[in-house]
Amino acid sequence: MRFIIIKGVGGLFGLGAIVMVALFLTNRTVENAARAKTWFSPAALPFNTVGLVPGTRPGGVYFRHRIDSAAALWQAGKVKWLVVSGDNRHASYNEPHEMQKALIQKGVPESAIYCDYAGFTTLDSVVRAREVFGQTRITVVSQQFQNERAIYLAQHYGIRAVGFNTAEVSSSQRWWLGTLREYFARGRAVLDATLIRRQPHFGGPMIIPGENTADRCPASPAM
């Protein structure tokens, strides 16, 4: 009985070691794909027609940093349009709408903002930038960890992406939790992009920023 328990514990440690090695390798894969493709200063960024702002919990620190950086990017003339892409699974939770409102408060005109209400994941947001918004080059505006993952995904779905890194979160506890979560997210991203070839949850009609002016942010977006 004791031998069986020891063997079982050893098996769990072995499995854990395999998982840790796999996560380490997928993390390095994502880092290498995004090397020299993210910047903290808008002055260093190349111009792209569209900046993609992934959604997050409205009002939180990640949200505020992304809004500040997206507004700064637009005001620096490094993008012409901003696509705010987030979760709108039900009427009471609407990330794109909240991002749109916050950007307008920061001085970005409503006419420069397009809403993507089906950006449930980073993959959804990135791939829909091409399939729905017709873009093959984008600037992703988020924290560096997400920018790197978005750039990796973009490369596997026919998009040339760079990243504008927002300010990082200062809390050490939040940093560690975010880092752990990101390791698993990167593992999933590699699986999605290479083995599963996952597609966005929803497609939709083509909305080209600058051409489809009536479809920027519909008045009743809830799905």
The structural domains of the chain, with segments of one domain joined by +, span: 2-215
8 Å CB contact between 56 and 95: yes
How far, in whole angstroms, is CA 89 from its chain's centroid?
17
Q: What is the pLDDT of residue 221?
A: 44
Q: What is the pLDDT of residue 177?
A: 61
The residue-averaged pLDDT of 68-89 equals 96
Which residues, in sequence order, are CB contacts of 90 under 8 Å at separation 6+? 222, 223
Mind listing the pLDDT tens digit for each residue in 89-114? Answer: 888 899 999 999 999 999 999 999 99
Mind listing the pLDDT tens digit for each residue in 156-165? Answer: 999 999 999 9
Is the pLDDT confidence value at 212 over 60?
yes
Least confident residue range of 1-5, 47-51, 142-146: 1-5
Is the pLDDT confidence value at 7 over 80?
no
8 Å CB contact between 154 and 193: no
Q: What are phi and psi of 162, to 5 degrees?
A: -125, 170
β-strands 50-54, 81-85 pairing: parallel
- Amino acid type, 107: G
pLDDT band at 12 (very low <50, low <70, confident <90, very high): low
How far, in whole angstroms, is CA 135 from its chain's centroid?
15
Is the pLDDT confidence value at 220 over 80?
no
Q: Is 140 helix (H, G, I), strand (E, B) or coil?
A: strand
CATH homologous superfamily for the domain 2-215: HUPs (3.40.50.620)
Give me the percent of the chain exceeding a pLDDT of 90: 71
